[in-house]
Structure 1
Amino acid sequence: MPAVRDRVRVVVQGRGRRAGRAGFARLLWVGAEVITTVGVVVALLVAHQVWWTNRQAAAGAQAQVRALERGWAEGGGGEGGGGGEVGEGVVGEGGAGVSGGGGEVPGVVEGGSGGGSLEGAGEGAAPSAGGRKPVAGGGGGPARDEAYGVLRIPRLGLAVPVAEGVDRRAVLDKGYVGHYPGTAQPGAEGNFALAGHRNTHGEPFRYLNRLREGDEVSVDLRGRRYTYVVGKVLAETSPGDVGVIAPVPRSSVKAGYGYQSAGSYITLTTCTPEYTSRYRLVVWGTLRNVVSATR
């Protein structure tokens, strides 16, 4: 009898070990399924952010460009665009320092506050360069978040709407470039400063680093084309370097970068390196001429 009991005991113990191994295997299987599911979800989110948002925003931006051009051709402001006349007057070739409207930017009033940070990807508050802020709506200028112009960069094959303000959701995430409130409008003395995404949401400024001295950048605004020539590039600066969008743009972080005298400037800002918002890339240009826009 003792031998029989021993054999029974051995059999029971063997079954327990097999059951434990089976439970552990099921646990590993469930864990693998969870990890796989999470990986698929993350991959889908990345694909949505990097691919789908680009397609959606780029398509919407191009539709807005066509709407603006159609509106101008019909004598209006375009669908969702328009705004008042800015930068009247014409400058000749090489006229980097000639004002288009007596030096005062139409559609701005005194009283804006300084400070803030460069708006390269939607983070933070946009600074008000030069102590001025735009009048919202009315005949003085474009309303906040309103698309009212088209930025063209031939070297990059880029044509993208320009909207008033640099709000991330209302402007930048639509694939537009945003005009920093308080900076000059095209053609006027001062600094026409713009921000745009470098990655995702249409990424209009993805290849901004390819611009070189002498490249042309133009802005169409209801029948007029304001052409600027790239003069300087600041490859990297901090988000707090608001000097780069001042009326006379000059880095307050990197000594020796920028300009020293009044003129009519354009500034393009975006994040760098790609897929980060740690620093800002800045491209500056000076106004060459103003002509009737051709489409």
Structure 2
Amino acid sequence: MRERIPVVVQGRRTRRPRAARVLWTGAELAVTLGAVLLLLVVHQLWWTNRQAQDAAHDQVDRLERTWDARPPSPAEPAAPGADDGAARTTRGGPPSRTPARRTTGRPPAPPRNAAYAVLRIPRIGLTAPVAQGVGKAAVLNKGYVGHYPYSAEPGEAGNVALAGHRNTHGEPFRRLDRLRPGDTVLLDTAEARYTYVVRRTLPRTAPADGTVLAAVPYSSVHPAYRFTAPGSYLTLTTCTPEYTSTYRLVVWGVLRSTQSR
């Protein structure tokens, strides 16, 4: 009797249907894209903040060490007829007061993009360097507060206009909306500390509402928000709502006191 040898027939490898392959590839791409987007979000919301905040704090330390190392400047003689800010009579007008720091002329403007002052807002726990200019790469993205170059300098008559990021890159103005009338804002320079007091907040206005930076600030979009008399003003601006640049949030203050170094 012959013994039959069993024949083993290997089955063919079934190929995955085309639709399934397309879905699988799409799922892999979606997971990869999601991971990349997550890394970008972490970079923008955490890493850029950490980098900018550390650099800004270092810059504040450098400024303060430089100021402390300066020898005391000798007293300068007053200009003829000057009385350290006493009232003067102007031709055809009422008496006016001239700030003491202006009797020897306006100091030269700080170099473009250079940090030259420190902004402190106790209400929101902010300490940040102030640089000349409002360029993103050169100033704002470093975690600095930017000074509009054609606005007044700290302590001067007119309007000291400042801008800062509300989100990412150090976000110095993250909590600017928490300021209330009566809160103090300090601006330190090599010459003096200028104390401003918050007077009013404009919660939302158009980015093109440039009159909020005028020497006597007001809103051309919201006419009820305005000052009418010349003075020494401070304007803080940032984007709103958070994580957008659709509108601008504006905080106005007025100069209360000056303390020389």
Indicate the TM-score class for this superposition, using the shorter chain for normalisation: 0.7 to 0.9
Partner of residue 106, structure 1: 106
Q: What residue number does 2:43 align with?
A: 48
2:4 aligns with none
For residues 168-211 of structure 1, what are the alpha-carbon distances to aligned partners after superposition, in whole Å with 9 as ceiling and x for unaligned?
10000000000001100011100000000000000000100000
1:45–1:105 CA distance, 2 compared to 1 (3 A): farther
Identical aligned residues as a percent: 56
Q: Which residue is 1:195 aligned to?
A: 163
In 2, Cα distance between equivalents of 1:153 and 1:198:
15
Deviation of residue 28 (structure 1)?
A: 2.3
**Contact (CA 8 Å) 1:105, 1:189: kept in 2 or not?**
no
Q: Aligned equivalents of 1:103 and 1:271: distance in 2?
A: 38
For residues 102-157 of structure 1, give each alpha carbon's deviation from its aligned partner in whole angstroms, at most 9, with x where no partner exists. Answer: 599836xxxxxxxxxxxxxxxxxxxxxxxxxxxxxxxx120100100000000011
Cα displacement (A) at 1:256: 1.4
Mapping of residues 45-194 of structure 1, within 5 Å: 45-75=40-70, 100=99, 101-102=101-102, 106=106, 140-194=108-162
Is 1:31 matched up with 2:4? no
Work out the CA distance in 1 between the residues paired with 2:251 and 2:105. 22
Matched, 1:220 2:216: no
* Deviation, structure 1 residue 279: 0.4
Letter in 2 for 1:72: W
User: In the TM superposition, what is the alpha-carbon distance from 1:25 to its structure 2 partner?
Assistant: 3.0
Letter in 2 for 1:198: R
Q: Provide the rounded CA distance (Å) in 2 between the counterparts of 1:145 and 1:246.
A: 22
Change (3 A) 1:42 1:161: same
What CA distance in whole angstroms lies between the structure 2 residues aligned with 1:46 and 1:104?
A: 51
CA shift in 2, pair 1:99/1:215, >3 Å: farther
C-alpha displacement of 1:237:
0.5
- Matched to 1:51, the amino acid is W
Q: How does 1:216-255 map to 2 (within 5 A)?
A: 216-255=184-223
Stretches of structure 2 that go unaligned for 5 or more consecutive residues are 1-11, 72-83, 87-95
Which protein has greater RCO, CA pairs closer than 8 Å, 6+ apart?
Answer: 1
Alignment of 1:198-213 (within 5 A): 198-213=166-181
Gaps of 5+ in 1: 1-14, 77-88, 92-96, 108-139
RMSD: 2.3
Query: SS state of the match for residue 269, structure 1?
Result: strand
Which of 1, 15, 28 aligns to 1:19? It is: 15
Q: One-letter code of the match for 1:49?
A: Q
Task: Supply the distance in 2 between the matched residues of 1:104 and 1:158 (Cα, whole angstroms).
Answer: 33
User: What secondary structure, in the 3-state scheme, does the structure 2 residue paired with 1:19 have?
Assistant: coil
CA distance in 2, matches of 1:198, 1:238: 16
C-alpha deviation, 1:29, in angstroms: 2.1
What is the CA–CA distance in structure 1 between the aligned matches of 2:173 and 2:104, rounded to whole Å? 29
Q: Deviations over 1:2-50 (max 9, x none)?
A: xxxxxxxxxxxxx79x5353x4433322221111001100110111011
Q: 1:245 to 1:179 in 2, by over 3 A?
A: same
Q: Count residues in correspondence.
A: 229
- Relative to the length of structure 2, the TM-score reads 0.82
SS at match of 2:51: helix
